[in-house]
Amino acid sequence: MKNIPSIQRTTSQAKDLAALRQAFQGWKDAPDPLTRLTRRLSTTLSLETQLGILAEEMNASIPFDALSYHHQIAHRDFVFATGMGGPHRCEYRLSLEGVHYGTLTLNRRQKFSEEELEGIEMIISAAICPLRNACQYIAIEQTALTDALTSIPNKRALDEHLERASRLSDRHGEEYALILGDLDHFKSVNDEYGHVVGDHLLRLTAEAIGSTIRNSDSVYRFGGEEFAVLLPHTGEQEARDVADRIRHAVSSLRVDCGGTDLSVTISCGVARHLAEEGASQWIARADEALYRAKAQGRNCTRVFASIG
């Protein structure tokens, strides 16, 4: 008699597990579009992949000619588009619990009916939670790769991008160049004017460097008062020209310190990527060129000369 409750629990658990398996199989094989959509969206945290799934599933129920999505995540624009336009469109501002998660726009040649608009809203309602999770995932990733003071990518982002650039350079024979720049005598700025002024100058420096480079180039805070610029499709001489533009832009900065204009200069080291070279070796050569710039008077550019 003492074993009966245990047997009953075992039987009950077996029934619960059987019901769970049946429910899972039903969810997995459910033919309705909303279940299929949410099931597919739950397999990834890639916002681009999710939007591709959403476009595919939505088009199966409500045909359209083009779908576009725009959102600013961690101060950066995220844009997704598929298909070609049309004169008629419907636009939805995606929100959940008072937080904005982008704008979705559909276009097509024929006007959307009221029933179709209602169907679009139902599909968006089913997709909004996975889309929110993907947006938050991107924001977390961006925070980990962004310098808090200057809002530009940090050293971790630089390391990742240099590794990728090294692989692309080796695979396709493309030229890449790296500039390392270090503000001259920056410690004396902090000592004399304080860290608030120093931090302001670092932010201005990041902006000044960003204003001198192309959209395809990228600037990073390498650490302290040191910055890095990655230049795709760029040779040594072109990179040196960019470094000199950076020096001119930085030396033109002025900070009003109560009747005294504070200015600063920057020294730059340049190195182009060499075949079969890893990111750490590449950085080390650019750093060696920067060291020579510092040793030879500062406020100048030196290139780590390479052969070939």
Give the residue numbers marked as catalytic.
Answer: 225
Q: How many angstroms separate the Cα of 234 from the Cα of each of 159, 174, 213, 242? A: 19, 9, 12, 10
Strands (E), 23-153: 66-73, 76-83, 88-96, 99-108
- CA separation for the pair 140, 199 (Å, rounded): 24
Residue written as token pair 């795709």: 232
**How far apart (Å, rounded) are the C-alpha atoms in residues 226 and 210?**
14
Residue whose C-alpha is closest to residue 120's, from 106, 133, 132: 106
Angle at 177 between CA 176 and CA 179, to 5 degrees: 155
Provide Rg for the chain, Cα atoms. 28
Of 204, 184, 187, the residue nearest 195 (C-alpha): 187
H-run or E-run covering 223: strand 218-223
Rounded to 5 degrees, φ, ψ at 72 are: -105, 115
The answer to whether the Cα torsion of 222, 226, 232, 235 is positive or negative is negative
Strand partners, 91: 105
Q: Which two tokens stand for residue 18?
A: 């059987």
